[in-house]
Amino acid sequence: MLSRMTDGVAQNSYHVKAMAADIRMRTRSTEKISRAAKSFKTGGVGRYARSGFVHIDSGPFRTWTS
């Protein structure tokens, strides 16, 4: 639904497939969360520092920053 109504939302998102989560923690920075997720060397890890969350999914290993 979001991808139909909002720009910038992927239509084939791992969220739609229940294979992704966007994570925010009061006690950890986006840098620390993304560093921990990247250390597993699996799935996608996207750091959105300005928005204050980290995207983590179970797809192929890749990283990005926005």
Instruction: Identify the pLDDT of residue 8.
Output: 60
- Are residues 45 and 34 in contact, defined by beta-carbon separation less than 8 angstroms? yes
Provide the pLDDT confidence category of residue 4 given band limits of 50, 70 and 90: low
4: enclosing H helix or E strand: helix 2-5
pLDDT per position as a tens digit, 18-55 = 999 999 999 999 999 999 999 999 999 999 999 999 99
Handedness of CA 20, 13, 54, 1 (dihedral sign): negative
Instruction: Report domain extents, the chain.
Output: 19-65
- pLDDT value at 9 more than 80: no
What 3-state class would DSSP assign to 43?
coil
